[in-house]
A and B are shown apart, each in its own frame.
Chain A
Amino acid sequence: GAGVSQSPSNKVTEKGKDVELRCDPISGHTALYWYRQSLGQGLEFLIYFQGNSAPDKSGLPSDRFSAERTGGSVSTLTIQRTQQEDSAVYLCASSFEPKGVYGYTFGSGTRLTVV
C-alpha cells in the first residue's frame, strides 16, 4: 500500500478483555516496529520484526503482550486481559532498510482506551 495502515483507529474495551491491533506495512518494507505512546510521553519501543529473523521482544511490558507477523507482511499486536494502564496510542512503523538507518514510516496509530 501507499502508507502504513493500522486498524482500528480507535478501540474502547473493558478491563480484562483481549484486544487485537493490526498493522499493514508498506509493501516491500522488511522491518516492522511497534511503539506505544502514552499521554504526554514519548514513544516506548515494544517489538521489532525483521524478515525471517526472531523478533526483538525486549520492549514488551508484560507477558500479556504478544505480536506476530504473518508472511513477512501484516502484523498483529495482541493484549490479553487488558488493564487501564494499557490505554495509549499504539503506533506501527515500517522501513525498507532493515537497520532503521534511514528512519521509519509510521501509521496513524490505534488509540486504545481501557475502561
Chain B
Amino acid sequence: AQSVTQLGSHVSVSEGALVLLRCNYSSSVPPYLFWYVQYPNQGLQLLLKYTTGATLVKGINGFEAEFKKSETSFHLTKPSAHMSDAAEYFCAVRDNTNAGKSTFGDGTTLTVKP
C-alpha cells in the first residue's frame, strides 16, 4: 500500500519568507503526486500535480514542487509567503491499483505572520 508522510503538522513563516512544506511518499511504482490546499470552511483545491515528465512542477498562486525519486520526496515551496497563503495543505499520492483513489497525508497547517 502507498503512504504519504507530511513532516510538521504546523509550519509558521513570516510574510515574505520562503515557504517549505515537506512531503515524502512510498510507492512501488512511479507515482502520481498532488498537493491540495484547503482554506477554512472550504473543500480541497488542487494546487499542482506531478504525472510524468518535468520533475519541477508549477501550480497556482506561485507554488511549485519538485519530484525527487531518489529521496521519494515532493516538497512544496513558495519563494515569498503571502498572508492569503494561510491554509491547510495536503500532499497525496495516487494509488497504484486500478481504482484511481489517492492516499492523503495528515496535512500541514501554514500560518503566515505579518
A residues adjacent to B (C-beta < 8 A): 4, 31, 33, 35, 41-43, 45, 48, 50, 56, 58-59, 91, 93, 95, 98-109
Contact = CB atoms under 8 A, between A and B. Distances in A.
A58 B105 CA distance: 19
A104 B99 contact: no
Interface string B80-102: 00000000001010110011111
A42 B105 contact: yes
13 contacts: A31-B100, A35-B104, A41-B106, A42-B104, A42-B106, A45-B103, A50-B99, A56-B99, A91-B43, A101-B94, A103-B49, A104-B44, A106-B43
B104 A108 contact: no
Contacts, number: 66
A45 B101 CA distance: 8
Contacts of B55: none
B71 to A, nearest CB: 21
A108 B103 CA distance: 19
A100 B102 contact: yes
Given A43-B104, A58-B99, A103-B34, 10 more contacts: A33-B101, A42-B107, A43-B44, A45-B101, A45-B103, A48-B101, A99-B100, A103-B36, A106-B36, A108-B42
Interface in B33-48: 34, 36, 41-46
A106 B92 CA distance: 14
Choose among B51, B95, B99 the residue with the greatest number of A CB atoms under 10 Å from its CB: B99
Interface residues of B, number: 25
Contacts of A99: 94, 98, 100
Contacts of A59: 101
B24 to A, nearest CB: 14
Given A103-B34, A106-B44, A43 B90 contact: yes
Contact of B90 (A42, A93, A98): A42
Contacts of B103: 45
Contacts of A4: 43
Given A102-B49, A106-B43, A107-B43, A56 B106 contact: no
A94 to B, nearest CB: 11
